């Protein structure tokens, strides 16, 4: 830590100018004893979500454009957040909403349930597991890499016919740095995170911003040919 004492005789004033150069990291503290409180920069830390937090996205898919709204609807006193996502128009004319559970410690999906009709009854239930269980991308820092195996187990019911499926995939998440990203909601300072498959090919790129509680203000799914941009958001409580 660099320090420098500045003596100011009683009854006199002096102007002190300093610059704070901070590398990309989860937090930094600046203390000017007796003059100000401690300034803490929380960029990149694990976000804390609140019931009522809402994000609206414009999604582009191979089948066309749609609007997706994601809202935190519960989770107090639990190890998981409960979220609801709605789609307008419904995906493939069937899926209009879905309920998700999100692990608070790692901020990753653990479950999804959805039903739809569109003329044909449809339901889906998915659980997600991760190995190693303690793999953690937070706090986000430039250059950080985390490799995780994702196990996705799903049960489908469509037109009275049931099907089960388990997909196991290994990905490496790389925090490539911070960029300014402009989307319909605003221009955000965001962490760029690229998700690579086992062949080293990008599967997904996301830009998450502390200004919106770590939500992805922009994303590109390279495998599915989909993308999303943040349109608007409403946050309950502090995003510190």
| Domain annotation covers residue 6 | no
Residue 10 pLDDT greater than 80, yes or no: no
User: Which range of residues forms the domain containing residue 216?
Assistant: 54-234
CATH number at residue 178: 2.40.360
Whole-number Cα distances in Å, 31 to 2, 26, 37, 60, 108 = 12, 17, 7, 46, 34
Q: What was the pLDDT predicted at 29?
A: 55
| Domain annotation covers residue 14 | no
Q: Select the more confidently predicted residue: 92 or 35.
A: 92
- Per residue in 166-225, pLDDT (tens digit) is 999 999 999 999 999 999 999 999 999 999 999 999 999 999 999 999 999 999 999 999
Q: What is the mean pLDDT of the chain?
A: 88
Handedness of CA 26, 30, 31, 35 (dihedral sign): negative
Whole-number Cα distances in Å, 98 to 12, 41, 83, 183, 226 = 65, 34, 8, 25, 18
Residue 32 pLDDT greater than 70, yes or no: no
| Domain annotation covers residue 79 | yes
| Domain annotation covers residue 213 | yes
Q: What was the pLDDT predicted at 160?
A: 82
| Domain annotation covers residue 15 | no
| Domain annotation covers residue 144 | yes
Number of domains in the chain: 1
| Domain annotation covers residue 32 | no
Query: Counting Cβ atoms within 10 Å, is residue 39 exposed (0-12), middle (13-18) or buried (19+)?
Result: exposed
Residue 61 pLDDT greater than 50, yes or no: yes
Q: What was the pLDDT predicted at 3?
A: 64
Residue 39 pLDDT greater than 50, yes or no: no
Residues above pLDDT 90, as percent of the chain = 72
- Per residue in 65-115, pLDDT (tens digit) is 999 999 999 999 999 999 999 999 988 888 889 999 999 999 999 999 998
| Domain annotation covers residue 74 | yes
What pTM did the predictor assign? 0.82
């Amino acid at each position: 830590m660099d320090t420098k004492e500045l003596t100011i005789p009683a009854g006199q004033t002096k102007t002190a100018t300093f610059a704070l150069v901070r590398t990309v990291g989860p937090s930094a503290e600046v203390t000017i004893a007796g003059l100000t409180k401690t300034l803490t920069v929380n960029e990149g830390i694990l976000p804390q979500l609140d019931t009522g937090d809402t994000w609206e996205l414009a999604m582009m898919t191979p089948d066309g454009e749609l609007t997706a709204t994601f809202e935190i609807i519960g989770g107090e006193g639990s190890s998981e957040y409960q979220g609801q996502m709605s789609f307008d128009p419904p995906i493939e004319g069937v899926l209009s909403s879905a309920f998700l559970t999100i692990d608070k410690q790692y901020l990753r999906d653990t479950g999804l349930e959805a039903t739809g009709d569109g003329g044909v009854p449809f339901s889906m239930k998915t659980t997600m597991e991760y190995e190693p269980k303690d793999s953690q991308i937070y706090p986000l820092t430039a250059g950080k890499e985390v490799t995780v195996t994702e196990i996705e187990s799903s049960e489908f019911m469509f037109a009275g016919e049931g099907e089960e499926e388990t997909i196991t995939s290994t990905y490496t998440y790389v925090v490539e740095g911070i960029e300014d990203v402009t989307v319909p909601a605003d221009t955000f300072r965001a962490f760029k995170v690229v998700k690579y498959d086992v062949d080293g090919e990008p599967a997904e790129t996301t830009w998450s911003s502390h200004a919106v509680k770590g939500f992805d203000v922009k994303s590109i799914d390279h495998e599915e040919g989909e993308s999303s941009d943040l349109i608007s958001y409403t946050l309950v409580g502090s995003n510190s």
